[in-house]
Amino acid sequence: MRFLLLGKDGQVGRALQETLPPLGAVHAVGRAQLDLAAGLASAAAEPPEGGLGGLERLLQQVRPQVIVNAAAYTAVDEAQRDRDRAWQVNARAPALMAAWARQAGALLVHYSSDYVFDGRKALPYLEADATAPLNVYGQTKQAAERAILGSGCQCLIFRTSWVFSAHPGNFVHTLVMRALTCDALSVVADQVGAPTSARLLAQVTARAIEACSRGGLAPGLYHLTAAGAVSRYALACHIVRHIQALGFATRLQPERIHAVASVDYPAQAVRPANSRLDSGALQQALALALPHWSGPVDQAVGQILRNHQIA
């Protein structure tokens, strides 16, 4: 198989560069090679190969059999202000990929989010549940889902939640750094979800692509998160305790982590209270058991601390 991987420098993109090569040749690009927001007033740079025109030229040049779109505008709060850029990267670009994939007979793999839901359901969300995003980021992800599914292309859309890795730019990494430098911290206690490692997403993505190519997995939309669920507050306490269990001294003690309500925490974008996704359909189709969130979180915490020591 011939792959085009977009977003190679992000959390999921980095992990995919380890799991996709056994399946075929991978042409991987990041924002330095293709800025999907180029041409917009809010874009920092406008390379001639950027924007949607640059994306279309890249697709024609590489002519991939599988497009894996790990590129995304993930700054949820900033998306409330930088709407055009969020819509361009998260919705218009995937729509173009879907149209090209439909014409070329390629498979499009795309990542969506728990933020397409309003979080008011008491149980974990199923794929067929109605979407009702609470913020601009969620609206762009919803629009991408609809465009891809409506295009008629072969696709695998994975809705996931609370993605983390040992690299900066996620809750787990931020919490580890805060634990080493802060005396006290306030963390939202009324948002519940499943922290899901970028590595797990990449591993299951590769397995799903292979199964889809053999006819063992039907194209479509699937939920993909780690097992179990935890509040952001309880996750913060877990991380600090694990750091201490590894023998590292922390300035932040679990009792100095203060639980707060979402309404009392300053944020531009409203988040869903319930981000739990039911991944049963994908687990059954691939005959796999997704791991509990705590194991990968603990592994990432250890790697972050090792990286910090080296630095």
DSSP per-residue codes, 236-291: HHHHHHHHHHTT---SS-GGGEEEE-GGGS--SS---SB--B--HHHHHHHT--PP
pLDDT surpasses 50 at 45: no
- Classify residue 248: in a domain, yes or no: no
pTM for the whole structure: 0.94
Separation of alpha carbons 134 and 114, rounded Å: 11
What's the CATH code of the domain at 209? Answer: 3.40.50.720
111 assigned to active site: no
Position 308 scores a pLDDT of 83
Q: Return the minimum-mean-pLDDT range out of 65-74, 168-177, 259-268, 299-308.
A: 259-268
Kindly state the average pLDDT of the residues 207-220.
96
Q: Which pLDDT value is given to residue 47? A: 47
Give residue 48's pLDDT. 43
Q: Of 266, 253, 234, 108, nearest to 162 (Cα)?
A: 234
Domain assignment present for residue 60? The answer is: yes
**Residue-level pLDDT at 43:** 47
Residue 3, strand partner residues: 26, 66
> How far apart are the C-alpha atoms of 37 and 98, rounded to whole Å?
18
Contact 305, 247 (CB under 8 A): no
- Count of the separate structural domains present in the chain: 1
- The tokens describing 85, both together, are 């850029």
Mean pLDDT of the chain: 94
Higher pLDDT, 42 or 208: 208
Range of the domain at 135: 2-167+196-227+276-291
Percent of the chain's residues with pLDDT above 90:
92
- The residue among 165, 197, 178 whose CA lies nearest residue 258 is 178
| pLDDT for residue 266 | 82
pLDDT at 265: 85
C-alpha 48: how far from its chain's center? 28
Query: What is the Cα–Cα distance from 160 to 193, expressed in whole angstroms?
Result: 10
Confidence of residue 38 (pLDDT cuts 50, 70, 90): confident
Span 6-24, average pLDDT: 97
Considering only CA atoms, give the Rg of the chain.
19
Answer yes or no: is 258 within a domain: no
In a domain, 180, yes or no: no
**Confidence label for 94 from pLDDT (cuts 50, 70 and 90):** very high
Range of weakest confidence among 76-80, 114-118, 181-185, 264-268: 264-268
Would 141 be classed as within a structural domain? yes
List the one residue out of 154, 155, 299 whose CA is nearest residue 226.
Answer: 299
Query: Residue 100 domain-assigned?
Result: yes
Q: DSSP letter for 115, please.
A: G
Q: Which of 41-50, 203-212, 262-271 has the highest mean pLDDT?
A: 203-212
Can you tell me the distance from the alpha carbon of 213 to that of 123, in angstroms, rounded to the nearest whole number?
A: 33
- Establish if 72 belongs to a structural domain: yes
pLDDT digits (tens, 9 = 90+) for 69-92: 999 999 999 999 999 999 999 999
pLDDT band at 41 (very low <50, low <70, confident <90, very high): low
* Options 73, 125, 137, 233, the catalytic residue: 137
Indicate whether 74 belongs to any domain.
yes
% of the chain surpassing 70 pLDDT: 96
162-186 burial, b for 16+ CB within 10 Å, e for fewer? Answer: bbbbbbeebbbbebbebbbeeeebe
Is a pLDDT exceeding 50 seen at residue 268? yes
Which of the pair, 40 or 195, is modelled with greater confidence?
A: 195
Q: Under DSSP, is residue 152 helix (H, G, I), strand (E, B) or coil?
A: coil
